[in-house]
A and B are shown apart, each in its own frame.
Chain A
Amino acid sequence: QKEVEQNSGPLSVPEGAIASLNCTYSDRGSQSFFWYRQYSGKSPELIMFIYSNGDKEDGRFTAQLNKASQYVSLLIRDSQPSDSATYLCAGGGGSEKLVFGKGTKLTVNP
């Protein structure tokens, strides 16, 4: 059974701080990793994707992948109250194999 594990949280950070979200996966064959943000009552929306070891930055967001440790993370710099949401990590080796974690709820306090 392929699994993606996330800290369930909730994670609470003050406005302006760095939020760090972590994810581990069981399938060493997984090649692609995605972070989705889901506001309450809404559908998941893509934040970042990463395929290669290392860091990938997009604005305030940085995704980090370490395939040897089977570890993926998402850093949110200068966290804003509008970042408060549940963050879903997903991994797979092609669209058919995408597996989602249960999500980490982030609250950014003004």
Chain B
Amino acid sequence: DAGITQSPRYKITETGRQVTLMCHQTWSHSYMFWYRQDLGHGLRLIYYSAAADITDKGEVPDGYVVSRSKTENFPLTLESATRSQTSVYFCASSEWDSPLHFGNGTRLTVT
């Protein structure tokens, strides 16, 4: 089925470990986004990409790395996880100036 898939759905990791969250979309949307959602802060943009090999920082990029070698994939890597990165992470995709479509989210806990 067409859509946007995130994996894993749940992840527990330890402080200092590297962890990668995966995002795959089948719509061939140009734009892809990573948000984190925390109580009291709402959805905050981490990174976004306008096309393959084009990425840009959002509001809260520190501690995160992204890549987009293929249009359909947009992985998010936490290079050295910290407890403050415990959150729910949502990937989304869209075309220019059109609504975002969200994946089901990844709930990450950093111990």
List the interface of chain A (C-beta within 8 A of B). Answer: 31-32, 34, 42-46, 49, 88, 90, 93-96, 98-103
- A44 to chain B: which residues have CB within 8 Å? 43, 90, 100, 102
**Pairwise interchain contact B105-A100, C-beta atoms closer than 8 A:** no
Which residue of B40, B95, B102, B103 contacts A102 across the interface (Cβ within 8 Å)?
Answer: B40
Bound complex: CA A102 to CA B38 (Å): 9
* Contact A95/B42 with A43-B90, A44-B90 known, Cβ cut-off 8 Å: no
Bound complex: CA A68 to CA B110 (Å): 44
Question: What number of residue pairs across chains A and B have CB atoms under 8 A from each other?
Answer: 53
**Pairwise interchain contact A95-B102, C-beta atoms closer than 8 A:** no
- B102 to chain A: which residues have CB within 8 Å? 43-45
**Pairwise interchain contact B43-A100, C-beta atoms closer than 8 A:** yes
Which residue of B42, B45, B50, B103 contacts A101 across the interface (Cβ within 8 Å)?
Answer: B42
Q: Number of B residues whose C-beta is below 8 Å from A?
A: 25
Q: Secondary structure of the B side of the interface?
A: strand
**Pairwise interchain contact B42-A94, C-beta atoms closer than 8 A:** no
Q: Which residue of chain B has its CB nearest to the CB of A46? A: B99
**Pairwise interchain contact A96-B42, C-beta atoms closer than 8 A:** no
Which residue of B41, B44, B97 contacts A95 across the interface (Cβ within 8 Å)?
Answer: B97
Please name 19 further chain A to chain B contacts, defined as beta carbons within 8 Å, in addition to the given A95-B50, A95-B96, sorted by A numbering.
A34-B99, A34-B100, A43-B104, A46-B101, A49-B99, A88-B42, A95-B31, A95-B33, A95-B48, A95-B94, A95-B98, A95-B100, A96-B31, A99-B45, A100-B43, A102-B40, A102-B41, A102-B42, A103-B42
List the interface of chain B (C-beta within 8 A of A). Answer: 31, 33, 35, 40-45, 48, 50, 56, 90, 94-105
Of the A-B pairs whose beta carbons lie under 8 Å apart in the complex, a sample of 7, sorted by A's number, is A43-B90, A44-B100, A45-B102, A95-B94, A95-B97, A96-B48, A98-B45
- B31 to chain A: which residues have CB within 8 Å? 95-96
Q: Which residue of chain A has its CB nearest to the CB of B44? A: A100
Distance to closest chain B CB from A32 (angstroms): 6
Bound complex: CA A90 to CA B104 (Å): 19
- B104 to chain A: which residues have CB within 8 Å? 42-43
Bound complex: CA A15 to CA B104 (Å): 29
